[in-house]
Copies of this chain bind each other. A is one copy, B any other.
Amino acid sequence: SKTYKIAIIPGDGTGPEVIKEGIKIIETAAKKNDFKLDFTDYDLGGQRYLKTGEILPESVIEEFKKFDAMYLGAIGHPDVKPGILEKGILLKLRFELDQYINLRPVKLYPNVETPLKDKKPEDIDMVIVRENTEGLYTGAGGFLKKDTPQEVAIQESINTRFGIERCIRYAFKLTQNRAKNNKLTLCGKTNVLTYASDLWQRTFNAVAKEYPQLKSDYVNVDATCMWFVKNPEWFDVVVTDNLFGDIITDLAAMIQGGMGVAAGGNINPEGVSMFEPMGGSAPKYTGLNIINPIASINAGAMMLEKIGESKAAKDIDNAVIKALESGKIKSMSAGKMGLSTTEVGDLIASFI
């Protein structure tokens, strides 16, 4: 039986707690499907940075390249200045490992409450494909006359045809393999970002020609946010740039029931990918065994899918649905589940 090498980054706050349940579940699915997982722990995050001053050594990035996948809890610490851990760990990993796709399946599970009126599981079922290595996330920019009344701050969005095209191709392929409407929507702001969004639009139109059987359309980012709330059923697959992707994936997480269920992958289709729950380190819930591990478990399923164990991924997805249908989990919010973090993990494991 096959063995996969998985790098684990439990990280900060509630990260270790949710990763523990995630490991429980993917181990159970691995046993059932007759493959093995070989875990290596990496201590990275705000906690470690504050203790040692070290963020992410280059040598560790090289080590990650040898794994089949990476599994992340959460990175973030209230005592660390915004930007340091993001640029030093999260964005650094995305860029250095060329994880150029940020993949966010958005699905309303049974018995999960959405803040939207009259929307059922079949209405909220889409995938967002976010470009993950360009745009406003490159860090390009600078200050002029800093700390004077004449200060100017410039932030640059850098976009390449190469980077956009590989992302759009990925999105078209994914759309082709989805059951739903087989529609790919480009989300941008062509009427204002007449350089960045224009390149996106031209690339999208060019690649669309290779998929004449698929529908494709364009929606401005402001309108996308409106329709996510009013008519989420209009969407199947959405492709967008890094910053718009950041915004619309979080909005989408909320309409699918919040951070308790939302999972994502930072994907290098030809290399090593990293999977994570979308929630942060949630300092105030840390160590209380009350955080919802479902997002982390969903991220685990995405990881198994990526390494080629689709059957095991499907088993986890089905188990999550059965656990939710059982009605035993009262809410998706930390502290209100009616069960502990560990109990939710055990419940889901029991359905595999």
Q: Which residues of A contact B (CB under 8 A)?
A: 82-83, 86-87, 91, 114-117, 136-137, 139, 141-143, 147-162, 165, 189-199, 202, 221-223, 225-226, 229-230, 243, 246-251, 253-255, 258
Contact = CB atoms under 8 A, between A and B. Distances in A.
In the complex, the 6 A-B pairs of residues with the closest C-beta atoms, listed nearest first: A222-B250, A153-B199, A155-B196, A151-B161, A141-B195, A82-B191
Contacts of A193: 136, 141, 155
30 contacts: A83-B198, A114-B117, A136-B192, A137-B192, A142-B195, A147-B202, A149-B161, A150-B160, A150-B162, A151-B199, A152-B160, A152-B161, A153-B199, A154-B158, A154-B159, A155-B157, A155-B195, A155-B197, A156-B157, A189-B246, A192-B243, A222-B246, A222-B251, A225-B248, A225-B250, A225-B254, A226-B250, A226-B254, A229-B229, A230-B258
Contact of A195 (B143, B229, B247): B143
A82 B195 contact: no
Among A116, A223, A225: residue with most chain B CB under 10 A: A225
Given A136-B192, A148-B161, A153-B198, A229 B251 contact: yes
Given A157-B154, A161-B148, A229 B115 contact: yes
A53 B91 CA distance: 46
A52 to B, nearest CB: 21
A139 to B, nearest CB: 7
A95 B117 CA distance: 39
A149 B162 contact: yes
Given A117-B115, A225-B225, A246-B222, A154 B251 contact: no
A223 B258 CA distance: 11
Given A226-B251, A254-B226, A153 B116 contact: no
A79 B50 CA distance: 57
Nearest to A221: B247
A313 B248 CA distance: 36
Given A116-B229, A154-B156, 10 more contacts: A83-B192, A86-B191, A87-B192, A115-B116, A149-B161, A151-B199, A153-B160, A222-B249, A225-B247, A229-B229
Task: Count the copies.
Answer: 2
Nearest to A157: B155
Nearest to A153: B199
Contacts of A115: 116-117, 229-230
A141 B152 CA distance: 16
A332 B117 CA distance: 16
Contacts of A162: 149-150
Nearest to A91: B192
Nearest to A148: B161
A290 to B, nearest CB: 19
A115 B226 CA distance: 10
Contact of A83 (B137, B139, B148, B190): B190
A190 B153 CA distance: 13
Contacts of A154: 156-159, 195-196
A344 B104 CA distance: 43
A226 B199 contact: no
